Structures are given as structure tokens and as C-alpha cells.
Structure 1
């Protein structure tokens, strides 16, 4: 059986009145005593209500959820925890819709964060032939905050992008190959007016000398694809052109430099960068943002066979740069190099951003909840960091030290794929060679792209990390252009 795509999410709406007979959810703030928002008179006993962010309890027909200190992160955690609790209760009691009574002084940022957490916090991807259990279908936020409907609409769009990124990355690789990923992008794009998508096959890749993509995909019976999504903007004068590039390795054995068996099953999510780019383009187009955006996803399977590429090979990338291969498990940078070169030489971007589950070194450096950010432009780096902060994704800027740049050079080719030294940094320095003089950022999401436990709005499996940041980044350029 295949999991139904897209995964259904909880619908979050805004209303100004309570519905008769619908259970209510109240919010609580910690303190002595605990402070409960509107509807407190309906709670007979506050004995087990702490107000801590995400703490939920059932009080008769009502529910109480803690929002902690009331920051966006606490509200996001509260929304996610609430929906998970309601889902679990629905399997026993069957409740599918609730009214959430928000305090009169709630901020728009809090409303947006709560919506995002509630929409994706109960995400569940399961491949099964069994009937799905009862689930919560909708929440209505009862508030008279000006503009609440607009921020909820945007938060739902960000949630949908996160969910699509998760769906694409979670899909098992016996279903998901480069052709499937391309077809999924085409299907999603068809539902959004104005968004164009073009899929190129292995013949086109050979004609255009995409040597990295062809080498990495050469060991698989399922050939590579190159996916290009185009959002033309709204036609305004001077709209900047942002190009997003996402690694699309639909399964990664490591090739001849084969990975250990433990953990290899997780490599179905090695195209999380590509998933984030596809999801971001869908979200950008749905919001009709006034900025030109192109999304590029080089998609391939890295397999072991008689036709697999080898350590010691020299490959020629799009544009003519040659690379000495030293480790076939460092395949992501090879496919990204082709796409980055194509972007610079063909698309004339104003800004260039790539995103990839690229190096285990980033997991060691930053852990599993923070993405690594490398950039040649301070303004672009600041925009990425700020965009992530607004949508609940954390980034930490890493250096691109000049003293390591020479190590990327090869004795027998222009570049060597895996220089010695700090792995995340040297991988970024390799990619930098293909970005010309375009302001560029590299986002390494090897850590936060996957989770093995629940936290905040994240559930085990693919997290959809980076999709929201990319949408918010595009919006920041659209807003700048509108103001300018």
C-alpha cells in the first residue's frame, strides 16, 4: 500500500464567536496561581494545569493548553502538543473539531506560531492497508485580533510546505526514484496557477554535460532527472531573481564507498534539500510573492553496480570544470555543482541558495536542530537567519576560511571532491567554486532534516526543515522590492 499524498493536516481557521456544543480549548500561563485565559470559569479544577508550554490536560469537555512565557516558540509548541493530545483522544472519544479561545492581548506572531504548530504537529506518515484512526480535523481560533485571518492563512501555507517536504522525503525509495520525484513535482505544480515545471532526462543531461549528475546516477537502473520549477513573479519592474538549488538523491548507498548498514534505511530522506526546494516553490507561488524564483533539483540514485562511478575518476561538470572523485559517498556536492553552474551560466540569478543534507560534519558541529549556513554575502546570510527565526527554523553561520580554499585544488583535475580538513567547510568551499560572483548561501541540513523523536512541531522522520525558511527568504526580497 502507498501512503496517501498529501498527508492531511489539521485545518486552522479564525472566528469571532464560539460554536454551540463544540468543545473549547483554553490557554494557560504559568504562575502562582496559574492564569487561564477566556473561559476559565468553565474549568472546575486547575490542580493539574501548569501553564508550561505544551502541557495539556482535559477538564470535563474542555481542554487547557499551556503557552509558557508566551513567545512564538512556546505558542508553536503549544499548538503542536495540543493537536497530538486531541488526536490521541479522538481515537477514544471521537472529537474532530474544537474552538480555541485566545486571550484578548494575543499577538499576531503568537497566532501565526500556534497555527503552524497545530497544523503540522500532528503529522503522521504511515504506509498501511489499515483504515486510518479518527483524527482531529479542524480548529477554530476565536479571537478579534486585527489581521488574524491573514496570518493564519500564511501560517497554513507554511505548514503545507513543511508537510509536502516531509511527504516527499518520507516516501520509501522502492516507490521514490528520480522519475517519481519529478512526477510529484509536476503534479504539485499543476495545482498552482502560474508555476511552471520542466523535467529533463538523462539524454538532456548528457547533452548539457552534467557530468556530476550522470556519474552519481550511473550505478542505478533508474536514471537521473533534472527538475526546474519557475515562478515568474508578478511582473513588477525590478523584481529580483532568486534561484534555489536542492540536492535530490532519492536513495544513497554511498556507492562503491558504501555506507555502513546501520542507518542506511534512513537514506530515503537524502533528497530533503530537493524536497524543501519543491515545497518552497509551491508555497511561493501559492502566495503570489512579487519575486522571481527558480527551483532546481538534480535528482539521482547513488547505487552500487558495474556501471557505478569510482574513486579516482575524473568527471566534467556543466560548464567544463573537472573534479577528481575521492569518495563516492560525497555525491551530493557533485550533483549540486552541475546545478549551481547551470544556474549561474543560464539563469542569471541575483541571489543563489542551495540546500542539502550534505555532511555528517554538520551534525557533529551543530547537532540535530540547527542548520549550517555558509554565505559569501553578509546581507543574504542575515536574511536567511532572520527568515528562519520568523518561521521557527534555526541557522548558525559557519566560516569560509581562505586558508582552506587552496585545498580544494587537485593535482590531476581542476578540483578534488573531498579535501582534507573540516568536512562541512571544505564541502562548502568546493561548491563555492561553481557560484561565480553571484551572492550565494549554502544550507547544510544534514542534522535537522531528520528526527528520531518528537519535539516542538517535529515528529519522527523527515522534518521538512528549510522549506519555510526559503519561502520567508523569498518574501523578504519581494517585500524589499515592493517597498523600494
Structure 2
């Protein structure tokens, strides 16, 4: 994150300022003359949510009170207002700004939206690098109920989300499986967690047939990544495990995608990006938990000895799988990771994957599809974290009848269940490899956007990082 976020104790006369109003009236002498007061009242009566006043030596942006149908909607509205404010700050070439007024939760939400809206992937465009270099540099929060620890926590969550976005947006030509593993190691060293990387010979020794099968058509070897953060006194005796699909590019393999569906497939590692972003936020904020991240990583290509429809592969737990569609590859590499997770005797496993178009069609970009065998307590806690972060979850059922959709004539399972209930049969496939409390999050609709959407922006969103951080924070309390 290129913008410095901090607290401040006071506001000076020349400070550019954002003020959240509590009752529709600014405090004290903020408005310096009758003309400004008249202008403010006129804009407020016309239902303007953001009122900008140019006081020549500074800008004052007044945010009118926002009240929605629920606390979660209200907080989200402040995040969106933060995104709108960033555009205005950029337009007015503001370098430093202070935020004050309002409730603590509203101020932090507005700052979060502003910082996330400021994200730019500028690695390959000179003019974007210049925009970032000349843009907003510092955001200071002046509020009696917001501590430097609160601000640091928010900054670390945003940093984890932005790292996830960077990795999603990076083209596969510079981010194959090995390079993704190097990014994990770098983040671990900077944030305070361990990273172990299994190379192809080690993966072969573990008989990870799903990962090796998907990788068979690629010239680049796969990796299997183990990320581990453990605080000095974790609240959980058994680790929590998060698993991310790390398909760095998905052509569909020999079940080749149409070209119009392939140009965004660098984002098919969005689940792994969510894992690394969460690990960064958790480690930097020193949550008192034991957390393990597992990422099987490869691209899915149609070259070399690529698996073909009709092949049978063997997952590391001995399950045989008839591969009827090589574009249903994510579940194959996740199967090895979920089987590997058993060795930790985990308290809970959550996997994240851009797994099915069916999930995206079902609920669009407004949320994630959730399913799994975890307790209702875990499910409710995860749903609540989704509401609080506005990374919302919709649960799909895993009724036993769906198991028959995956019946194969020649193997233990087949990797697709047909046209009906596509997201659910993918989840049912994954369930086979679990014997612990487990949740599956299909993030296909939210991980990568083809048009801007407020603070989520365009392209990689980092979906899942904020959700999981808040979920684990609640478990740690």
C-alpha cells in the first residue's frame, strides 16, 4: 500500500479535511463565513451525501449522515463514500488528508473504502506509475476512539488485500507456479510466517496425482506451498487451515476454453491470492491463532502429455478419478491439498477457489457461494463476517443425492457431474477428500471484475482476505 495511514492528535488550519457529520451540522468554526454556511445548507437540503467546500487554503469535504436498513448496509455505504472521496481527492490533487467526526466504525469504513479505491496495478503502464507517484500520499485519522493499533490493523488488512490483487493481476508470463512460490516466500519473510515449498520430485513422492495430472500439459513444474503462522499463545490447539486454488493460468487444457473466456484466466489463482493476503493480514496483526495455508500451484495447458478426457488419475489419498473434462481442473489440485490437510488434524478447513461458472451465474458479483460440512456455529460466524465485510455468503446444499451425479463407470469418481447443479457437484467432489469440519467458498463471481465497482475496482479484487481476517479475529476473541 503506497498511501501512509496513521493517527493524528489535532487538525491544523491548512489541513485538507474529511468530516463525517453526526447530525447534519458541522462542529464549531469549520465553516468560516455565511456564504459557506448557506452553501452547505442548500446542498444538504438537496440530499447531497458529499459536500465539498473550497476554502482556498484547504478543501473541506463534509459527509452527510448515512442511515441504511441495517448496520452492515450503513457501514458499507461509508466504504462506498470513501471510494467516491478518493476520486475527488485525486481530482483536486490532494496529497494529504485528515479524517474526523462520526462514529469510529464509520470513520474506519470510510478510510478502508478510500484506501482500497486507491489501489492501482501500475507495473506495466508508465502513465499509471506517474499517477501513483503524484497522488495521495497520506491519510490521518483524528478520532478519540480510534487508536494507532486500530489504524495499523486496518492498514495491514488493506495491504493483504492489495497484495492479493497484485498477484491476481500479474500475467502468467511473469507469475508461473515457481514465481508464485517466490512471492509467498517474500511475503512470509516480510510479514512473519513460515513458507515451505515442495518441488515436483517431492510432489511425485507424495503421489499428488491431481496436481501432477493438471500440470502434465505444462512446460513449467508445479509447486505445493505450505504457509504457517503460529502465535506464541494460540487460542486453537488444532490449527485452522485455509486452502487456495493456485491455477496461475487456465486454458481449459484439452477441453479448451473459447478465446473470449480465456483472456481473464490469469485470475484463476484468486483462491491462492486470498490465502496469501489473509496470511499477511493475520501475521502482521499478530492474531493469537495457529493458521496454515495450503496452495497447490500450476498452470493448465494443452501441451506435452496433457491429460485427456477419459483419463483416470489417482489422488494422493488413493481415490481414482475419471477426468471427463480437463477444464474442471481446480477440484483435482484441491483434492490433493484437502487430503494433505488431514495430517494436521485441523479444527477447521476452508478452501477458496474460482471453481465454477455456475456459482458466478447463480449469484453474480454480489457474493460467494458457500457449502460444507462444518458446524452451524462455524457457518454462522463465517456468514456474520461476510455481512460485516460485505463479502457476503450464500449457502448451497450438499444433499447426499448429489453424490450420484459423480458416479463413474470405471473409477471411484468422475470430475464433473453434468450441467445441473454444477457448483454443488464441484463442492460434493471436494467433500469426498475431507474428514474434518470443512467449508468451501466458490469465489468465481467476485475474484475478478470486468468493470469498476466502487472500492473493489476493476480486475482482481482480493476477495476473501477481509472476510477471512475478520472471521479469524472473532474466533481469536
Asked if Structure 1 and Structure 2 have the same fold, meaning a TM-score greater than 0.5 normalized by the shorter chain, the answer is: yes
> Can you list the C-alpha shifts for 1:390-414, whole angstroms capped at 9, x where unaligned?
2231111111112212222211111
From 99, 113, 117, the equivalent of 1:121 is 117
Cα distance, 1:275–1:325 mapped onto 2, change above 3 Å: same
Q: Note the 1:329-340 alignment, pairs <5 A.
A: 329-340=327-338
Task: Indicate if the aligned counterparts of 2:349 and 2:439 stay in contact, CA closer than 8 A.
Answer: yes
Secondary structure of the 1:259 match is: coil
Name the counterpart of 1:24: 17
**What is residue 4 of structure 1 aligned with on the other side?**
none
| Pick aligned residue for 2:79 from 69, 76, 79 | 76
When residues 399 and 452 of structure 1 are mapped into structure 2, their CA distance, relative to the original with a 3 A threshold, is: same
CA distance in structure 2 between the aligned counterparts of 1:316 and 1:65, rounded to whole angstroms:
61
Cα RMSD between the aligned structures? 2.0
Deviation at 1:35, TM superposition (A): 4.3
Paired position in structure 2 for 1:97: 96
SS in 2 for 1:262: helix
User: Do residues 161 (structure 1) and 154 (structure 2) align?
Assistant: no
Identify the match of residue 362 of structure 2 among 365, 368, 371: 365
Distance verdict in 2 for CA 1:215–1:28, change over 3 Å: same
Higher helix fraction (1 or 2): 2
Alpha-carbon distance change, 208 to 123 in structure 1, aligned in 2, over 3 angstroms: same
CA contact (8 A) 1:374 1:441 kept: yes
Quote the Cα distance in structure 2 between the aligned partners of 1:397 and 1:67: 35
* Residues 156, 280 of structure 2: 8 Å contact kept: no
Give CA deviations for 1:7-55 in whole Å, capped at 9, x if unaligned: x3432222231034222223357x9xx64466652445234566655x4
Report the Cα distance in structure 1 between the residues aligned to 2:83 and 2:164, rounded to whole angstroms: 18
* Structure 1 partner of 2:190: 191
Matches within 5 A, 1:311-460: 311-344=309-342, 346-377=343-374, 378-420=376-418, 421-436=420-435, 438-460=436-458
Is 1:35–1:51's contact at 8 Å kept on the other side of the alignment?
Answer: no
Contact 2:240–2:290 under 8 Å retained in 1: yes
Q: Is the 8 A contact 2:235 2:288 kept in 1?
A: no
Change (3 A) 1:64 1:24: same
Task: Output the CA distance in 1 between the equivalents of 2:238 and 2:51.
Answer: 45
- The superposition leaves residues 343-366 of structure 1 with CA deviations (integer Å, 9 ceiling, x where unpaired) of 01x221110110000000011111
Q: Please give the alpha-carbon distance, in whole angstroms, between the structure 1 residues aligned to 2:439 and 2:140.
A: 39
Q: How does 1:144-183 map to 2 (within 5 A)?
A: 144-145=144-145, 147-183=146-182
Q: 1:321 to 1:119 in 2, by over 3 A?
A: same
Which structure 2 segments of 5+ residues have no match?
68-73
Which residue is 1:5 aligned to?
A: none
Match of 2:227 among 226, 229, 251: 229
